[in-house]
């Protein structure tokens, strides 16, 4: 199955989406897609089949997000912690990723036509070279697209991301590009992998687990979190509608807590230069991954 699927919504579902669209729609939704293996057990199929069904659900869910007019989605596809699973399962997930990131790049015409910007967030050093190459090619190709954004957290944990940001900033101090007094939450935020994204408005975790599992910890301070009691492959557009409906009910309460500083300007021009340099180096790293 490809990442770009046609809408399978019924007339009634489309009608309900249009009703909800009269209210505020979240700009950015994050998903912890949990429950693939339990789904496999429930259906008496191999774990690999559970993960494949999980991917199919992801493609479907991205289509629903588009129908809602949600501009940005971030999905937790592979945690660094997942490397601790059995070799067989890690190999299966890497095989799936290899196949899907290849398909994603092959869908380039469609991505460009629809203005989709793809970003993979995570520790790319932990990934095999061929997967890195397809990810890098897709990210570089779509980096200037601005209609919709898909961030795939792969080999990601939030604490690893924050550690990486701290390391980057400390290196900047060592290289005399910035001083210790320049370090604050805005600067650390600008050095996260998610530096180009606004914080998520909603985070949805499926499978009934009530944890964040090291996902977007920095970014979700004022995010509404919904725990859906359904396994990820069984997630439906009705569940998504329910989350958006709850978001709308508390919208005016949430908004006042939000910091509208997603794009706070750096205090000094040398700090901006440092941040731009960090982003430039990250792009160069991607270019190096492409043979
Ligand atoms: C969590 O379910 C799911 C994962 C660890 C993998 C998620 C991956 C996908 C949905 C496929 C996406 C793939 C790409 C390439 C984007 P679990 O394995 O923890 O299941 P459990 O909670 O029932 O044990
Ligand atoms: Mg799980």
The CATH number of whichever domain residue 62 belongs to comes to: 3.40.1180.10
What's the predicted TM-score (pTM) here? 0.95
Q: Hey, whose CA ends up nearest to atom 16 of ligand 1?
A: 77
Identify the pLDDT of residue 197. 97
Looking at 119-128, 244-253, 257-266, 272-281, which range is the least confident one?
Answer: 257-266
Identify the pLDDT of residue 263. 63
Identify the pLDDT of residue 216. 98
pLDDT at 133 over 70: yes
Instruction: Report if residue 23 sits inside a domain.
Output: yes
- The DSSP annotation for 5-23 comes to ------HHHHHHHHHHTTS
Identify the pLDDT of residue 257. 67
pLDDT at 169 over 80: yes
Cβ-in-10-Å burial (0-12, 13-18, 19+) of 140 comes to middle
Is the minimum distance from the CB of 43 to ligand 1 under 6 angstroms? no
Question: Which of 54, 94, 152, 213 has most ligand 1 atoms within 8 Å of its beta carbon, as the pocket-test mutant?
Answer: 54
Domain count, the chain: 1
CA 247 to ligand 2 center in whole angstroms: 25
pLDDT at 262 over 60: no
pLDDT in tens, 181-226: 999 999 999 999 999 999 999 999 999 999 999 999 999 999 999 9
Instruction: Report if residue 221 sits inside a domain.
Output: yes
Question: Where is 120: in which H helix or E strand?
Answer: strand 116-121
Please tell me the number of the ligand nearest to residue 36's CA.
1
Instruction: Report if residue 223 sits inside a domain.
Output: yes
Identify the pLDDT of residue 256. 66
CA 50 to ligand 1 center in whole angstroms: 8
Instruction: Report if residue 188 sits inside a domain.
Output: no
Q: Which two tokens stand for residue 185?
A: 């939450």
pLDDT in tens, 221-260: 999 999 999 999 999 999 999 999 999 999 877 776 665 5
Q: Hey, whose CA ends up nearest to atom 5 of ligand 1?
A: 78
pLDDT in tens, 77-95: 999 999 999 999 999 999 9
pLDDT at 53 over 70: yes
Please tell me the number of the ligand nearest to residue 47's CA.
1
Identify the pLDDT of residue 2. 87
Cβ(85)–Cβ(50) below 8 Å: no
Mean pLDDT of 264-287: 92
Instruction: Report if residue 22 sits inside a domain.
Output: yes
CA–CA distance, 107 with 290 (Å, rounded to integer): 18
Helix axes 129-142, 269-289, angle to 10 degrees: 130
pLDDT at 261 over 80: no
CA 287 to ligand 2 center in whole angstroms: 33
Instruction: Report if residue 286 sits inside a domain.
Output: no
Please tell me the number of the ligand nearest to residue 54's CA.
1
Q: Range of 89's domain?
A: 11-157+197-267
Instruction: Report if residue 175 sits inside a domain.
Output: no
Question: Which of 35, 36, 205 has most ligand 1 atoms within 8 Å of its beta carbon, as the pocket-test mutant?
Answer: 36
CA 44 to ligand 2 center in whole angstroms: 17
Identify the pLDDT of residue 1. 73
pLDDT at 17 over 90: yes
Instruction: Report if residue 274 sits inside a domain.
Output: no
Tell me the backbone φ, ψ of residue 158, rounded to 5 degrees.
Answer: -65, -40
Is the minimum distance from the CB of 96 to ligand 1 under 6 angstroms? yes
pLDDT at 123 over 90: yes
Is the minimum distance from the CB of 100 to ligand 1 under 6 angstroms? yes
CA 35 to ligand 2 center in whole angstroms: 5
């Amino acid at each position: 199955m490809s990442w770009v699927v046609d809408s399978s919504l019924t007339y009634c579902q489309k009608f309900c989406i249009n009703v909800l669209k009269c209210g505020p729609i979240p700009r950015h939704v994050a998903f912890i897609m949990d429950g693939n293996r339990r789904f496999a057990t429930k259906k008496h199929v191999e774990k690999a089949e559970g993960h494949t069904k999980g991917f199919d659900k992801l493609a479907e869910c991205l289509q629903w997000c588009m129908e809602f007019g949600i501009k940005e989605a971030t999905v937790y596809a592979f945690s660094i912690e997942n490397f601790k699973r059995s070799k067989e399962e890690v190999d299966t997930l890497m095989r799936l990723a290899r196949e899907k990131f290849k398909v994603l790049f092959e869908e380039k015409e469609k991505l460009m036509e629809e203005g989709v910007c793809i970003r993979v967030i995570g520790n790319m050093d932990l990934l095999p070279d061929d997967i890195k190459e397809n990810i890098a090619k897709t990210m570089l190709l779509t980096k200037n697209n601005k209609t919709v954004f898909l961030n795939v957290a792969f080999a990601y944990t939030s604490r690893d991301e924050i550690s990486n940001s701290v390391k980057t900033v400390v290196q900047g101090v060592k290289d005399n590009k910035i001083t210790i007094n320049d370090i604050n939450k805005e600067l650390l935020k600008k050095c996260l992998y998610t530096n180009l994204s606004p914080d998520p408005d909603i985070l949805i975790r499926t499978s009934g687990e009530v944890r964040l599992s090291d996902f977007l910890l920095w970014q979700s301070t004022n995010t509404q979190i919904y725990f859906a009691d359904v396994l990820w492959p069984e997630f439906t557009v009705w569940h998504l509608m329910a989350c958006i409906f709850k978001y709308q009910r508390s919208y005016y309460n949430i908004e006042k807590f939000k910091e509208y500083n997603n794009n706070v300007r750096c205090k000094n021009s040398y700090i901006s230069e440092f941040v731009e340099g960090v982003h430039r180096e990250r792009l160069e790293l991607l270019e190096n991954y492409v043979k």
